[in-house]
């Protein structure tokens, strides 16, 4: 885990989507954050020890076709995906940890200077994040997802997820890896359509963008949301303490 020092930052983005507004000061206490997303191997160890339930990721259609749990051979070091918020929360608790709040997540991604991306201000590219290149587009098409658009830069080596930590040039100022791309990540926080709205615990915030999404989602202030029972190849997680 990486130690993130406490501090105050301006959360949100005036030039982002409506749910990233209003920009407001947020104080975050010092905490620890997993350097990488939780891997298939780490989650499998928790299952073998009887502390975590096995993800019910067996569908042969939809986004569950991209579940790394279904294809562990050769993907032990990839992020575990197709886990619900409840399963992610249970794993972190079994490890003596917890899911990060979205404020902690954004703070870790934007420290220490309010940067646009975890690595700084440079636009995403194939050296900094796992994105959807032409190989990803063709892989998606073969699985029934036509119309995906390739990122505006050359392919990385991975048509689906990448092994965690594969893009060291994309790490944060504190050395946290994969905060942009690869998979979205569950947070502990309920979702509100604006930061001055009431949070809905029936929707949980996802952060970090996904490898199949437009690279605009890689901005550190970008939010998404899903119901806690959602299980999809596009979402994984990391833990905090």
CATH number, position 85: 3.90.1580.10
**pLDDT score, position 157:** 92
State the sign of the Cα–Cα–Cα–Cα dihedral 206, 209, 213, 218.
positive
Classify residue 144: in a domain, yes or no: no
Residue 139 included in any domain: no
Query: How far apart are alpha carbons 175 and 166 in whole angstroms?
Result: 13
What 3-state DSSP class applies to 82? coil
Digitized pLDDT (tens) for each residue of the chain, 241 residues in all: 999 999 999 999 999 899 999 999 999 999 999 999 999 999 999 999 999 999 876 666 788 889 998 776 789 999 999 999 999 999 999 999 999 999 999 999 999 999 999 999 999 999 999 999 999 999 999 999 998 999 999 999 999 999 999 999 999 999 999 999 999 999 999 999 999 999 999 999 999 998 788 899 999 999 999 999 999 999 999 999 9
Tell whether 31 is covered by a domain. Answer: yes
* 209: in domain: yes
* Residue 166 placed within a domain: yes
Residue 78 lies in a domain: yes
pTM of the model: 0.95
CA distances to 25, 66, 95, 133, 186 from 71, in Å:
43, 9, 24, 21, 21
pLDDT score at 62:
82
Write the DSSP symbol of residue 39. Answer: B
Q: Identify the helix (H) or strand (E) that includes residue 139.
A: helix 134-142
- 110 belongs to a structural domain: yes
Query: What pLDDT sits at residue 199?
Result: 97
Residue 124 tokens, joined: 């995403």
Neighbours of 157 (CB within 10 A): 11
- Give the strand pairing for 31-33 and 223-226: unpaired
- Domain that includes residue 197, residue range: 2-132+157-236
Q: Residue 34: its pLDDT value, please?
A: 98
Q: Give a yes or no: residue 54 inside a domain.
A: yes
Distance of CA 177 to the CA centre of its chain: 10
Query: Total domain count for the chain?
Result: 1
Give the model's pLDDT for residue 176: 98
């Amino acid at each position: 885990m990486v130690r993130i020092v406490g501090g105050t930052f301006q959360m949100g983005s005036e030039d982002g989507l409506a749910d990233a507004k209003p920009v407001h000061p947020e104080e975050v206490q010092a905490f620890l954050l997993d350097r990488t997303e939780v891997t298939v191997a780490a989650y499998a160890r928790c299952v073998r020890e009887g502390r975590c339930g096995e993800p019910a990721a067996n569908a042969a259609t939809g986004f569950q076709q991209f579940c790394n749990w279904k294809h562990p051979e050769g993907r032990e070091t990839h992020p575990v995906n197709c886990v619900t918020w409840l399963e992610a929360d249970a794993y972190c608790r079994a490890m003596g940890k917890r899911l990060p709040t979205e404020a902690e997540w954004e703070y870790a991604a934007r420290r220490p200077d309010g940067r646009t991306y975890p690595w700084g201000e440079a636009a995403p590219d194939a050296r900094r994040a796992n994105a959807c290149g032409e190989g990803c587009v063709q892989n998606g098409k073969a699985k029934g997802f036509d119309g995906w658009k390739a990122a505006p830069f050359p392919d990385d080596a991975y048509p689906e997820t990448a092994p965690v930590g594969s893009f060291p040039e994309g790490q944060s100022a504190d050395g946290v890896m994969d905060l942009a791309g690869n998979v979205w990540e569950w947070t502990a926080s309920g979702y509100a359509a604006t930061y001055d709205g009431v949070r809905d615990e029936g929707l949980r915030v996802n952060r970090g963008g996904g490898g199949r999404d437009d690279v605009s989602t890689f901005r550190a202030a970008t939010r998404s949301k899903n119901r806690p029972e959602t299980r999809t190849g596009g979402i994984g997680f990391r833990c905090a303490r």
